[in-house]
Amino acid sequence: MAQVDRTRERLIETYRKKAKHYDVTSRLYPAPGYPQRAQRLQAVRALGLRPGDTVVDMACGTGLNFRLLEGVVGPGGRIVGVDLTDAMLARAQDRIETNGWSNVSLVQADAAGFDFPAGVNAILSTYAMTQVPECAEVIAHGAKALSGGGRWAVLDLKVPGHTPRWIAQLGTAIVRPFAAIDEWTMRRPWEAIRAAMEEELADFSWTELFFGTAFLAAGSRGGGKK
pLDDT tens-digit series, residues 138-166: 999 999 999 999 999 999 988 887 656 66
Contact yes or no for 103/66 (Cβ under 8 A): no
How does DSSP classify residue 111?
G
Q: In which band, very low, low, confident or very high, does the pLDDT at 74 lie, cut at 50, 70 and 90? A: very high
- The sign of the torsion formed by the CA atoms of 34, 13, 19, 126 equals positive
Planar angle of CA 88, 175, 8, nearest 5 degrees: 50
Q: In which band, very low, low, confident or very high, does the pLDDT at 14 lie, cut at 50, 70 and 90? A: confident
Give the pLDDT mean for 100-125.
95
* pTM for the structure as a whole: 0.87
CA separation (Å) from 180 to 133, 166, 172, 177?
12, 20, 10, 8
Query: Greater confidence, 8 or 143?
Result: 143
pLDDT of residue 1: 46
pLDDT in tens, 173-211: 655 555 555 566 778 999 999 999 999 999 999 999 998
Query: Counting beta carbons within 10 angstroms of the beta carbon of residue 222, is it exposed (0 to 12), middle (13 to 18) or buried (19 or more)?
Result: middle
